[in-house]
Structure 1
Amino acid sequence: MPFGDVVRVGGSGLRTHPLRVLLSALGIAIGIAAMVSIVGITSSGKAGLNAILDKLGTNMLAVAPAKGALGSDVTLPAEAETMIGRIESVESVTAIGAVKGVNVYRNDRIPAAQSNGITVVASRLNLPDVVGARVASGSWLTEATARYRTVVLGSTTARWLGLSGTNIGGQIWLGGRWFTLVGILEPIALAEELDVVAFIGWEQAATEFAFDRLSSTIYVRAQEPAIGSVHALLDRTANPKSPQDVRVSRPSDALAAKAAADKALTGLLVGLGAVALLVGGVGVANTMVISVLERRSEIGLRRSLGATRSQIWLQFLTESLLLSLLGGGAGVLLGGLASAAYAVSQDWAIVMPSWAVLGGLGVTLLIGACAGMYPAVRAARLSPTEALTGA
């Protein structure tokens, strides 16, 4: 038969049982939608991560004191920041210092124990430029404002205190004194630990709270080609006497590790999608077997009118392929829409690999062929007499 006739005859069986076809196709659609959406979301997330790294750079290093041999706290030398800045390939350096024993509250009526673990730190004025921080509301500390009781909050700190951009210019209770809120930062991708702190000026911290002017963390931007050599020098440069007491990290490595973990999780989720797809294939096979049993008289009539075994076999195989293709097409569409919606909600670029779409449809056709093979062969083996008499 011509190809058009094969498709028309195969589709006639689907039109006669729309509800059964819908339920069977739904199983295929769920499996394909799960697989396509997982691939799409993962690809969009990877693109979003790469965009962050391209924007913020991968050349930032963080230097902090490590735990002593017996678990005791150690500190960085006072000259560590200056010495690091003298390394030839270092582009910029900044630092924060923990202001110990000082907590921050929304007002002076909050019980002292309810500090939420928020750390108050003294900060250099160039911190945002080095770590890639952006101000969500208000402004960052300046040479003028840092000399007074002013504070900038990390994004998480502001949320915990119940503060937003409308509170800029208001007063908050910090270390038993009123400080003016001048800014709130956006989340900092390369230094998430800064999202849960409150920043005050370096000299103001020394004046108000006897801050010892020692850096708790030093952030370094180095030339990209020399990042490895700078990394190797930082511990000895920061603390020549005890380099083992210095911990050097590359924050972008944490984002890369997150991407690797997402990739591993994606493999697991794709496996679950494959199980759902297999269940859908069983549903298609069940539908086709029932279709053969219900249409024995139709098969017998066609055989009596001259249809060959191969034509009967091709009819039911085509019907199975069309049923699977219907579910696969719906699954690709639903999966694509789900991944696009999620990417938009996360402010990611919408990325859908072509191989995911083509692969989804290809797997669908393979499932349809496997599911329809036995029912098609069974239908083809029915003799006209047996089919017409229902024996």
Structure 2
Amino acid sequence: MTFPSLPFRTVAAMACAGFLFSAGHAAAQQMPGSAGPSDVGVVALQTTEVPYTVTLPGRAVAFEQTDIRPRVEGTIEEIVYIPGHPLEVGDVLYRIEGDSYEAELAAAEAAVAGAEASVTAAKATLERYQKLDGVGVTRESVETAEVSLMQAEADQRSAEAALRTAQLNLKRTEITSPIQGVADVSEVSVGALVTANQSDALTTVTRLDPIYVDLTESSARLLRVREQIDAGDLAQSDKLQIDLTLENGATYSAGGTLVSPGFSVSSTTGAVEFRIQFDNPDRKILPGMFLRANIQIGNRNAILVPQRATTRSASGDLTAFVVKDGKAKKVVLTEAGSYQNAWVVTEGVADGDALVVDGLRNLRDGAEVAPTSVTIDENGVVQSAAAQTPAAE
């Protein structure tokens, strides 16, 4: 059979179409589904002892703080202290005009001298009457002399008490600091008239070193911690390790001591308050300052899973991939908080599991993988394990 001859252009177009068909068929045979296993970086998980730390809100409270008020009436004669400068117990803060109290003291001393003289005279009279009892003096006169002596002795004790009061009043014209610390700016000036035990304070003295921090914890979490300790899941430390985070984010690691563990639960908040004492030599912590306390209660055995290797599902489950029999397996993790850059995982993975930490993009459950051992530094950067091994000499 004879075929009609075709134009050259028609033959070329047919040849090109055949080539494209062959190429498309070959490309279809090389779709991703038939590609080789995906390269992933893995780390071997292992159970380790992890510190159990809780973070609690707190507020600083002065170790000691007292309002200074006068105990006698008078005019402020001198303000001795300098606001903000350190004070010791007994340092003079104010002086009140004391002329009238010096006069009262002199009068009280004279009254005591007169009372002593009266006692001496009454004793002499009684002794003389006792010698003459029944001879020239009646028994009634002796008894009267005895009563006079007792009255004179009572008057002497009263005069001595008045003298002590006058001495105290004169001493109280110098108002001193009852505690160690620093004093605030004075609320009065020289020449001001003050009264004994007035409601308005002259100034306030505060001791800043050491300082208290009052913390608040929910009673529910306290019960959970006790359950973990009783079950043996949490090994309690002999001494609490407590660090503070200041308002500027800085860490204050002076170390705290538990003062009051808290013995009651608030009926409104359901929380327990307890007090921690910190050394504060540089006065970095001031009363009223809000802080966060990081308290290490103890240690527990758990597996640390790097946070970069996990994701949260729409339902809130924490998931990760491990390598099983050359395939990626998606697992759901149960976490109990975090430590540094890792989740503290109690369920979902086991000792020795190969956790996928690199090559997670587009990774699917059941996909074939080619694992390579890697490491993660403290900044969360993945590095090849081979690169960390020193070369053989």
Into which bin does the TM-score normalised by the smaller protein fall? under 0.3
- By percentage of residues, which structure has more helix? 1
What is the TM-score normalised by the length of structure 1?
0.20
Higher RCO (CA 8 Å, separation ≥ 6 residues): 1
What is the TM-score normalised by the length of structure 2?
0.20
Report the structure number with the largest CA radius of gyration.
Answer: 2
